Amino acid sequence: MARPKKPAHAATPAPLPLPAAGGLVSLADVAALAGVSSGTVSRALSKPEMISVSTRQRVQAAAERLGYVANGAARALALRKTHTVGALVPRFGGSSFPTLVQALESTLAAAGYTLLLSAPDHERMQQEAADILRALLQRGVDAVALLGTEYPGAVFTMLAAHRLPFVMMWAEHSSQGPCVGFDEQAAAALVVNHLAQAGHRRIGFIGGRTAGNDRARRRFNGVLQALARHGMTLVADAALETEYGFRQGFEAMQTVLTKAAPITAMVCGNDYLAAGVLAALDQAGVQVPQQMSVLGFNDNDFAAYLHPPLSTVRLPISAMGEQAGHYLLQQLQPLPVAAAAAAAAPGVPLAPPPLPVELVLRASTGPAPAAARRKR
Amino acid sequence: MARPKKPAHAATPAPLPLPAAGGLVSLADVAALAGVSSGTVSRALSKPEMISVSTRQRVQAAAERLGYVANGAARALALRKTHTVGALVPRFGGSSFPTLVQALESTLAAAGYTLLLSAPDHERMQQEAADILRALLQRGVDAVALLGTEYPGAVFTMLAAHRLPFVMMWAEHSSQGPCVGFDEQAAAALVVNHLAQAGHRRIGFIGGRTAGNDRARRRFNGVLQALARHGMTLVADAALETEYGFRQGFEAMQTVLTKAAPITAMVCGNDYLAAGVLAALDQAGVQVPQQMSVLGFNDNDFAAYLHPPLSTVRLPISAMGEQAGHYLLQQLQPLPVAAAAAAAAPGVPLAPPPLPVELVLRASTGPAPAAARRKR
DNA sequence: TTGTATGCGTTATCAC
DNA sequence: GTGATAACGCATACAA
């Protein structure tokens, strides 16, 4: 600033590594030190191949020396790109969403994108989703990852108005846009078929709240449908929904036991619930699997370390996060071939196929107890 | 733009809710529609009290109509403030960090701040922490929340150079800056004292890796020191460190059992490990607590639903996240009184006091087994 | 109360 | 290969 030209022989009296006036070190500062224009500095740093070796080195040295860090806001303003992806993920703690988010974040980070996380604790989500999204848009994001599909229309309207790529995670078949997820019905079928083949006819279910939670609802419906294919339904008194959580599973199972519904197997909506269910059975003196079988959906990864180890459907949570990330990145930086494909079928971004699920059998299931089997 | 004045009687032929040309709707668009200048729009939206009621309403209506969302990059550039806090949290999935982050995020969100999350999956963290922080700075953050204290000096140098408020979470007494956390030593003492009073003399420990993990190290040291006060040390063959996780706890406990170290109690570094330990004991036919007591640090919240329910020290993870958030917010928007205090003692931001811990006893501990007790 | 003009730090366009 | 210069969209002195 004081001297726009002047190559930096051995000038500057106090060239500390952390100088900068009141504000922070900018392109202009680096330019002054390197004795070039700010435009050159910009290029030297972002497109080195366009610059001669000597000046590039001078610039890099100067930048290093001053501890220059580009101002993302200015860059975003000029580029109209933030290199940031927003994520809307409700009920973050105590769920398996962290695993999903971790996978999403590292996938994005590997491509130079950062994750702007919004994790409304309450079910503010339901009403305020649009406001929360607005905050994300306002802050500046190039794309958005949503958990689930249950959002007010305003959310999709805003997304469309801003022409933002987005993806719904842990979801399938939304008319609103592309989803990544796995086949919940297949997962439920895996569980139910296994129980049916073992001779179980009276089956209970403890799952998450279905209102405003499409994941819990699909899971529940999947179980119902799979049961129907075997000519069964859930035992009325033994079908509950509750919040996800250890305590909730525990208490729900206590309720089921109180009602003394004669069941031989319980299906658990996720493994938090399953752990609570097992604890309740243990406390009540019910033997697993001798007196009752338990199976679950394995959102997290501790089912194998419960007592008894729980048979579960293993769900590809991490893979789902990676898939979401890759999908968004593909929308963000379309490769030649992808762009060509997109041009061929415009308007319909190709969503990835559902991820595979897998039944993992452990000690918690066995043939239906004799007493129950006699009933049919 | 076409007509800078002109109040918007009933003009514009196709006033769709999502118009905007190639780019997106900006202040100027709203201004044009409302028939005012862009400066007025800016004020009407951010400082409504400076504007007359009538024009304010016109502006708000126009903004609404166009679906205007402010451009955060431009705002950040003009304001030199991003209203964003960066977080560096390693090993995100399968830990108790999500709970912490959730609490941090909602605390910040309540004050209008968003969370930029960086969650290096690997122990890239160790080497690349500075690069990751640089990415955060470059993206633009007003403050930073770090998990733990183990960062290269470059990290703190950059933080200082950019004059960024920051806080280290789950930490105590760092010379590098303010910390929020709880007293790990007190927590360890709670556990060890309880065991000592029950007559245990031969105690083992399975905890997290201490290299490059100050939390695991403090926890380990706390146990050692508490033992020392009772004239004990850990039983050599029964003291292991491993990654956190169910499987890891399971395998570590198997190793301990293999070595047949005659112990009467195990202390677990966290509850993932504890769950694995219990599973291993169960599989080996070791009765808890009759033959062996197990206690643990309760990072997560499922200790009560294990088999048997695990006695633990309950750790205030959520409170820690809130505390971190409040601390940063206080640095960001100093209240009159806080500012005065800061002026009185400049340079040393006052870190909040450690949060309280609590011992929760359940069925997993009892008096030391007779066989072992005989030994002393 | 409202309009005008300038600056925020970068990138991109265009001459040189 | 490099240097001016004009956006980018918003906030804010300053003028009216």
- What average pLDDT values come out for chain B (376 residues) when binned by 10 residues? 36 41 80 94 94 94 93 95 94 79 92 91 74 92 93 91 94 90 92 94 94 87 96 94 88 91 90 88 89 86 77 91 96 69 59 87 77 43
CA–C1' nearest nucleotide, residue B26: D9
Render A102-168 in DSSP notation, one character per residue: HHHHHHHHHTT-EEEEE--SSTHHHHHHHHHHHHHHHH--SEEEEESS---HHHHHHHHHTT--EEE
Closest Cα partner for B180 from B56, B46, B321?
Answer: B321
Min Cα distance B8 → chain A (Å) is 22
The Cβ of residue B269 has, within 10 Å, a number of other Cβ atoms equal to: 28
Contact A116 B120 (CB under 8 A): no
Instruction: Give pLDDT tens digits for A64-77.
Output: 999 999 999 999 99
Q: Scan for tokens 């031989």, then name that residue.
A: A264
For residues A375 and A126, the model is more confident at A126
Name which of A71, A157, A305 is nearest B279 (Cβ-Cβ).
A305
Mean pLDDT (chain A, rounded): 85
pLDDT band at A79 (very low <50, low <70, confident <90, very high): very high
Left, alpha or beta for B35 (phi > 0: left; psi -120 to 50: alpha)? left
A&B contacts, CB < 8 Å: 204
Question: Does at least one atom of strand C sit less than 7 Å from the CB of A76?
Answer: no
pLDDT at A301: 72
pLDDT, average across residues A282-299 = 88
- What are the backbone dihedrals phi and psi of residue A45, each rounded to the nearest 5 degrees, phi first? -85, -35
pTM: 0.87
CA–C1' nearest nucleotide, residue A52: D1
Q: How far is the CA of A73 from the C1' of D9 (A)?
A: 11
Question: In this structure, what DSSP letter does residue B360 have?
Answer: E
pLDDT at A336 over 80: no
Min Cα distance B196 → chain A (Å) is 28
pLDDT at B365: 78
Alpha carbon B365 to chain centroid, angstroms? 30
pLDDT at A370: 63
Contact B119 A105 (CB under 8 A): yes
> Which residue gives the smallest C-alpha to C1' distance to D12?
B39
pLDDT at A23: 60
Using a 10 angstrom Cβ sphere, with 0-12 exposed, 13-18 middle and 19 or more buried, the burial of residue A232 is middle
pLDDT at A125 over 50: yes
Contact B118 A114 (CB under 8 A): yes
Question: Does at least one atom of strand C sit less than 7 Å from the CB of A75?
Answer: yes
Q: How many Å apart are CA B139 and CA B35, to the nearest integer?
A: 35
Q: Which residues contact B165 (CB under 8 A, 6 or more apart)?
A: B142, B143, B144, B328, B331, B332, B349
Contact B121 A102 (CB under 8 A): yes
pLDDT band at A180 (very low <50, low <70, confident <90, very high): very high
Q: Scan for tokens 């030190």, then name that residue.
A: A33
pLDDT, average across residues A90-111 = 86
pLDDT at A283: 86
For residues A307 and A217, the model is more confident at A217
Q: What is the Rg, in whole angstroms, of the alpha carbon atoms belonging to chain A? A: 28
Contact B93 A318 (CB under 8 A): yes
Name which of B106, B162, B278 is nearest A24 (Cβ-Cβ).
B162
Min Cα distance A166 → chain B (Å) is 17
pLDDT band at A270 (very low <50, low <70, confident <90, very high): confident
Beta strands in chain B (DSSP E): 84-88, 114-118, 143-147, 166-169, 179-180, 203-208, 239-242, 265-268, 293-298, 311-314, 358-360
pLDDT at A17: 46
- Which nucleotides in chain D have some atom under 7 angstroms from a protein Cβ? 1-5, 7-13
Min Cα distance A376 → chain B (Å) is 33
SS3 call for A10: coil
Least confident range from A179-188, A192-201, A212-221: namely A212-221
Render A77-94 in DSSP notation, one character per residue: HHHT---EEEEE-SS-TT
- What are the backbone dihedrals phi and psi of residue B136, each rounded to the nearest 5 degrees, phi first? -65, -45
Q: In what order do the strands lie in the sheet with A265-268?
A: A239-242, A203-208, A265-268, A293-298, A311-314, A358-360
Q: How many Å apart are CA B182 and CA B258, to the nearest integer?
A: 35
pLDDT at A298: 81
Q: Which residues contact B374 (CB under 8 A, 6 or more apart)?
A: none
Name which of A250, A279, A302 is nearest B246 (Cβ-Cβ).
A302
pLDDT at A13: 36
To the nearest 5 percent, what fractions of chain A are helix, strand and coil?
Answer: 45, 15, 40
Name which of B80, B94, B307 is nearest A278 (Cβ-Cβ).
B307
pLDDT at A371: 53
Q: What is the Rg, in whole angstroms, of the alpha carbon atoms belonging to chain B? A: 28
Question: Does at least one atom of strand C sit less than 7 Å from the CB of B54?
Answer: yes
pLDDT at A373: 43
Contact A83 B309 (CB under 8 A): no
pLDDT at A8: 37
Give contacts of B27 with chain A, Cβ < 8 Å.
none
Closest Cα partner for B292 from B303, B270, B277?
Answer: B277
Contact A301 B136 (CB under 8 A): no
